[in-house]
Homo-oligomer: A and B are copies of this chain.
Amino acid sequence: MLDGKWFTEIFAESGSAFSLQITDKLYEEQTPYQKIEIFDTTHFGKLMSIDGCVMLSSRDNFIYHEMMSHPALLSCATPEEVLIIGGGDCGTLKEVLKHKAVTHAVQVDIDEGVTRASENYFPELCTSNNDPRAELHFDDGIAWIKNAPAESIDVIIVDSTDPVGPAEGLFTLDFFSDCYRVLRQGGIVIQQSGSPLVCPNEIVDMHQVIRDAGFDSQQTYQFPQCVYPSGWWSATAGGKGIDLSNAVNKVPATLDFDTLFYSIAGHHGAMAIPPFLQALLEDSRKH
């Protein structure tokens, strides 16, 4: 069926697959952690895959990067100190640094190869890497959090691959307990939490682990993401001493930076959890 050159990712858990038509493979590197590949596509610009899984495309990464950043930062009263775990393509860092309130943004990705590849093939995502507030480290994010001082960070963004391979530890109670310790009062952690359609239980589990880690509120944000399984994705946040369901109402009516996907109305919309998922979340809270 797929004549010509295609990059295909099979999602075995949902018996589905997504393909992009490619014109060239531009780059391939086996780093100590994973295999990075960059392709040119016919309609989606550049495509980066890690171990055969789509990470991002030029065309639709703005949605993911904006939704991993702005809801959390705008829900935090004082988002001064920001830590990004993962995020090696630097697209999340760029969105974070749009916030004037941010005084220091540290990005800790285990694999320098991802950042170097992004600098070469997604330079538009790396335009803030030299911002004086930015600090890039290539290190183990789990150890980083473990060693970070208590109550030292306002927002932690976990911009990782799915919970397999080096990212597996970023979905555990241990990790979220460390995040809780490291966050200041009023602080927020946010982590990508998969597809509401094909893996709603990942979202349920993340609410559970965030609750168990001591957070006072949990909130899922849903958004479209063409290149990820089912095209419908989510991020789930925990608030320390903050009610995330209410924090959105304190976001100022206009933003002082430009976005392509994020809007205040869209922030509210992203929080409108559909009844089928709401029922799963409520059910899990009873047990």
Q: Which residues of B contact A42 (CB under 8 A)?
A: 15
Q: Which residues of B contact A226 (CB under 8 A)?
A: 16, 197-198, 230-232
Interchain CB contact under 8 A, A266 and B269:
yes
Q: Which residues of B contact A15 (CB under 8 A)?
A: 20-21, 41-44
Check if A164 is an interface residue, CB within 8 A of chain B.
no
Q: Could you say which of A18, A63, A197, A271 has the most chain B C-beta atoms within 10 Å of its C-beta?
A: A197
A18 to B275, CA, bound (A): 26
Interface residues as binary, A262-287 with B (CB distance below 8 Å gives 1, 0 otherwise)? 11011011111111101000000000
Shortest CB-to-CB span from A40 to chain B, Å, is 11
A255 and chain B: residue at smallest CB distance? B275
Interchain CB contact under 8 A, B197 and A60:
yes
Shortest CB-to-CB span from A63 to chain B, Å, is 8
A231 to B222, CA, bound (A): 13
**B-contacting 9-mer, from A6-14, A109-117, A150-158:** A6-14
Interchain CB contact under 8 A, B268 and A274:
no
A20 to B264, CA, bound (A): 35
Interchain CB contact under 8 A, B276 and A265:
no
A232 and chain B: residue at smallest CB distance? B224
Q: Which residues of B contact A273 (CB under 8 A)?
A: 263
Chain A interface size range: 35 or more
Q: Which residues of B contact A175 (CB under 8 A)?
A: none
Shortest CB-to-CB span from A111 to chain B, Å, is 25
A42 to B196, CA, bound (A): 18
Check if A138 is an interface residue, CB within 8 A of chain B.
no
Shortest CB-to-CB span from A7 to chain B, Å, is 9
Interface residues as binary, A1-39 with B (CB distance below 8 Å gives 1, 0 otherwise)? 110001010100111111111000000000000000000
Q: List 18 A-B contacts (CB under 8 A).
A: A2-B2, A15-B42, A15-B44, A16-B21, A16-B226, A18-B19, A19-B19, A60-B230, A197-B226, A198-B226, A225-B231, A261-B274, A261-B275, A262-B275, A263-B274, A263-B278, A265-B271, A268-B269
Measured CB to CB, the residues of A under 8 A from B are 1-2, 6, 8, 10, 13-21, 41-44, 59-60, 62-63, 196-198, 222, 224-226, 230-232, 258-263, 265-266, 268-276, 278
Known: A60-B230, A63-B274, A260-B274. 15 other contacts (CB 8 A): A1-B10, A1-B17, A14-B43, A16-B19, A16-B20, A17-B17, A17-B18, A17-B20, A60-B197, A196-B224, A224-B231, A258-B275, A261-B275, A263-B278, A265-B268
